[in-house]
Amino acid sequence: MTDLLDRKLLFVTGKGGVGKSTVAAALALLAAERGKRTLVCEFDAKGNLADFFESGPTRFQPREVAAGLFAMSMDPEESLKEYLTLQLRLPLMARIGPLARIFEFVATAAPGVREILTVGKVVWEVREARWDLVVVDASATGHIVGQLTAPQAINELVQVGAIRQQTDWLVDILSDPVRTGLVIVATPEEMPVNETIELAERLENETVVDLAAVVVNRVLPELFGRAEEEVFDRLAGGAELNDALAADAAPIVEGARLAVTLRRSRAEHLDHLRDSLPSDLPLLYLPYLFVRSHGMRSTRQAAAALGAELGY
Amino acid sequence: MEQLFAAKEIVISCGSGGVGKTTTAAALAAMAATRVGGRVLVLTVDPARRLANALGLEGFGNVEKPVPASAFAEVGVAPRGELWAAMLDTKQSWDNLVQRHAPDALTAQRILDNPLYQNVSGRFVQSHDYIAMERLFEIHTGGQYDLIVVDTPPTRNALDLLEAPQRMAEFFSSRFLRLLIAPYRSKLINMASRPFYQVADRILGSQFLQDIAEFFILFQTMYAGFVQRAEAVDRLLHDKRTTFIVVSTLEAAPLHEAEFFVDALSDKRFHLGAVVLNKVLPAYLLEAGAAVVAERLVKDAAPIAAEVAPRAGCAEDLVERVLTEMGENFLRFQLVAQREAEQRSELAVSPEVVATVPYFESDIYDLGGLLKLGEQIWS
Ligand SMILES: Nc1ncnc2c1ncn2[C@@H]1O[C@H](COP(=O)(O)OP(=O)(O)OP(=O)(O)O)[C@@H](O)[C@H]1O
Ligand SMILES: [Mg+2]
């Protein structure tokens, strides 16, 4: 199997709020640190990817946010304009005002138009070989399949027209596991785990894209082994600790109990996830980052943790 | 909270994805059925499987179902009223809407069969948001329930939810939509003479353009009905019997979204019933004295272990490891708890509407769990 970061295009998806942007940012930073010229693209224009690099807002034009790492955010309208000028060579048309607004209606009604402009842009970047790696902070699980199957949808609906001619090379790149892969981010909780399992099945059945890895995010550390846990229970039940400290240790005991229970209830979900995914699929664990705030520093930590998981 | 629920007929639970909106809505409905009484319906969007199970919703779409009295009896509760539950099936609701507003059965069928319909019904003008509100309107008008608690789909932008009915109406009266379908309505306008159509034609092909136009022309037959309905839905949301509950965790992004939503509610003159802060870490994590103790445990684990181990009858090296872990663990969680407390203090919402729900260590998957959570919000 191809090394994750040796692919050219990685889509990162997952349920809302599980850490897609965190993981996309970390993978991109890791790649850049390893000398790859990397583009990270956020599909959600209202997203917060920029926060993870503390770089100020991202735009359609890629901007360097760290050495060798460029960030951009998707804008289907900009993508349409770029497509019209670069590929159809219609420089003037692209500036016609109503076009953009009518585009809104067409894209609303016509399946695949918006999607193909979104996915098409990042695949185009790969095709043009401008980058060693393109990481996509993609849409949540609910939308990703629709986006990845847009070329097929377009093929079925549009019989002629320029947009149809694009679908061949798009499918070529998307379906090549050497170049393209998808990463699902999940937290060890009920809903994210279920969505991950469902998405893995849908990817297999409905799309041409290869599932490259699942990142399990916010994994809590294991505090105690079996022997330690016995000792903990003993100490928690007695007065010895309070006596020795001449202080109240109850909050610390409760804190430890909280961590143990949380980890345990999450372990069940994790087992379910592991059992339900193909056994040869890499699972990468990203620990819960106990940090004061989230920014470049925590992105570096996440990158380092993922790097360790990948054996770097 | 009890007053609020006794006075209102509609409670809408909103917030970012993953904050516990669905669970909160279900918990509040269960509490209302238990304490206030009457017929209470919870309309949920996407419940976790075990929650759906707990509410007896497995395998049911748009149909409302009573939560069996035995489910309450099992957890030793005798509710004053009845709890009903229904799931929102967006596709089904859209189909119903089309059937209701189409001028005749044939047109309805042509719309439902149009290849573009699926796509439109799945997405346009935040259709999930709209359809949730639309369905609420339908149920409310039916007059079967004393209280309806609605869970909403996750929104990127909270405003989408509030503006959905209005936008729906605007979409169908838009000038651009008319421009798009004009050439297909009247042969007088020569398509090829307009630059837009030239471009669109090159990209999409004229056949496809025609499909789109046809679809909109069909859809426009429902225009009047849609707009009227959207306006009625909007009025209902503004009605004084309706209130909104904003759910959030103390994480930066959801909280930011929640604040934005609270502002939007007041700007647009909707009623804010409560802000529910969910998954809040326990207060003991913030104790300053405890931090000092935790630091001592980390730094002096060895001497403390030497003192404790013989008295507790445990191996000293094990005790030392346990003490270090306990101390470090406390300090880690304290960092997060402090960050959350800061976020909370910055929350510009009057405190009397804020309810806090602790982080439950295990998942909530039955009525007992829901009521436990509900009690936290209630008090
Ligand atoms: N491993 C982790 N440890 C601690 N906090 C984390 C971790 N991963 C993510 N977070 C925090 O959780 C929050 C949500 O993460 P993020 O923005 O990456 O999620 P997302 O999946 O991109 O969300 P959305 O669906 O809204 O785009 C952020 O505040 C982030 O800093
Ligand atoms: Mg994100």
Assigned domain for A145 exists:
yes
Tell me, what's the pLDDT at A273? 97
Question: Which residue among B205, B307, B336 sits closest to A244, beta carbon to beta carbon?
Answer: B307
Residue B327 to chain A, least CA–CA distance (Å): 7
A190 shares contact with chain B (CB less than 8 Å): yes
Indicate which CATH number applies to the domain containing A83.
3.40.50.300
Whether residues B284 and A250 touch (CB distance < 8 A) is answered with yes
Whether residues A252 and B208 touch (CB distance < 8 A) is answered with no
Q: Does residue A53 contact residue A65 with C-beta atoms inside 8 Å?
A: yes
Question: Which residue among B125, B207, B304 sits closest to A159, beta carbon to beta carbon?
Answer: B207
Tell me, what's the pLDDT at B227? 78
Delineate the domains of chain B, giving CATH numbers in brackets: 2-164+238-281+359-378 (3.40.50.300), 285-339 (no CATH)
Higher pLDDT, residue B230 or A159: B230
Show residues of chain A in contact with B196, CB under 8 Å: 96, 98-99, 102
Name the closest-CA residue to atom 4, ligand 1.
A289
- Token pair listed for B104: 């005749």
Distance CA B197, CA B367 (A): 58
Which residue of chain A comes nearest to B50, CA vs CA? Answer: A190
Higher pLDDT, residue B282 or A140: B282
CA of residue A137 to ligand 2 center, whole Å: 7
Assess whether pLDDT exceeds 50 at residue A94: no
Ligand 1, atom nearest to A291 Cα: 4
Distance CA B165, CA B272 (A): 19
Looking at the CA of A14, name the nearest ligand: 1
Assigned domain for A250 exists:
no
Q: Does residue A172 contact residue A253 with C-beta atoms inside 8 Å?
A: no
CA of residue B251 to ligand 1 center, whole Å: 9
- Token pair listed for B215: 């679809």
Assigned domain for A248 exists:
no
> Alpha helix locations (H) across A207-295?
226-237, 240-245, 250-276
- Tally the domains of chain A: 1
Residue appearing with tokens 């039916």: B142
**A25-53 pLDDT, tens digit each:** 999 999 999 999 999 999 988 888 999 99
Tell me, what's the pLDDT at B125? 39
Q: Centre a 10 Å sphere on the Cβ of residue A250 and count the other Cβ atoms it contains.
A: 15
Task: List the single range of A56-65, A298-307, B347-356 with lowest mean pLDDT.
Answer: B347-356
Tell me, what's the pLDDT at A33? 97
B355 pairs with which residues across the strands?
B276
Side-chain-side CA neighbours of A232 within 13 Å: the count stands at 24
Q: How far is CA A271 from CA A112, A264, A268, B29, B51, in A?
A: 36, 11, 5, 32, 20
What parts of chain B have a pLDDT lower than 70? 46, 50, 59-61, 118-128, 155-159, 161, 165, 168-169, 171-204, 361-363
Tell me, what's the pLDDT at B168? 67
Q: State the DSSP H helix or E strand holding residue A283, giving kind and residue range, or none if neither.
A: strand A283-287
Residue B26 to chain A, least CA–CA distance (Å): 16
Pocket of ligand 1 (CB under 6 A): A 14, 16-22, 47-48, 140, 217-218, 286, 288-289, 294; B 251-253
Assess whether pLDDT exceeds 80 at residue A231: yes
Assigned domain for A271 exists:
no
Q: Does residue B99 contact residue B108 with C-beta atoms inside 8 Å?
A: yes
Whether residues B336 and A290 touch (CB distance < 8 A) is answered with yes
**CA A175 to chain CA mean position, Å:** 18
Residue B210 to chain A, least CA–CA distance (Å): 11
CA of residue A12 to ligand 2 center, whole Å: 10
Name the closest-CA residue to atom 9, ligand 1.
A19
Name the closest-CA residue to atom 19, ligand 1.
A19
Query: Assign residue A246 a region: left if phi > 0, alpha if psi is -120 to 50, beta otherwise?
Result: left
Size of interface A-B (CB pairs under 8 A): 207
Question: Which residue among B176, B359, B365 sits closest to A105, beta carbon to beta carbon?
Answer: B176
ipTM exceeding 0.90, yes/no: no
Amino acid at position B100, single letter: R
In the β-sheet with A9-14, what is the strand arrangement from edge to edge?
Answer: A63-66, A69-73, A38-42, A133-137, A9-14, A180-186, A211-219, A283-287
Assigned domain for A226 exists:
no
Q: Give the domain extent around A126.
A: 4-221+280-309
**A97-111 pLDDT, tens digit each:** 555 666 666 666 666
Tell me, what's the pLDDT at B179? 65
Higher pLDDT, residue A264 or A113: A264
3-state secondary structure of A135: strand
Assigned domain for A265 exists:
no
Assigned domain for A235 exists:
no
Report chain A's mean pLDDT, rounded to a whole number.
89
Distance CA A259, CA A222 (A): 8
Tell me, what's the pLDDT at A2? 61
CA of residue A18 to ligand 2 center, whole Å: 8
Q: What percent of chain B has pLDDT over 90?
A: 39
Task: List the single range of A219-223, A256-260, B173-177, B316-320 with lowest mean pLDDT.
Answer: B173-177
Question: Which residue among A101, A111, A162 sits closest to B202, beta carbon to beta carbon?
Answer: A162
Q: What are the strands, taking DSSP E only, across B305-377?
A: 354-358
CA of residue A17 to ligand 2 center, whole Å: 7
Assigned domain for A273 exists:
no
CA of residue A20 to ligand 1 center, whole Å: 7
Which residue of chain A comes nearest to B339, CA vs CA? Answer: A292
Show residues of chain B in contact with A46, CB under 8 Å: 156-157
**A268-289 pLDDT, tens digit each:** 999 999 999 999 999 999 999 9
Residues whose CB is less than 8 angstroms from the CB of residue B287 and which lie 6 or more positions away in sequence, other chains included: A251
DSSP designation for B34: I
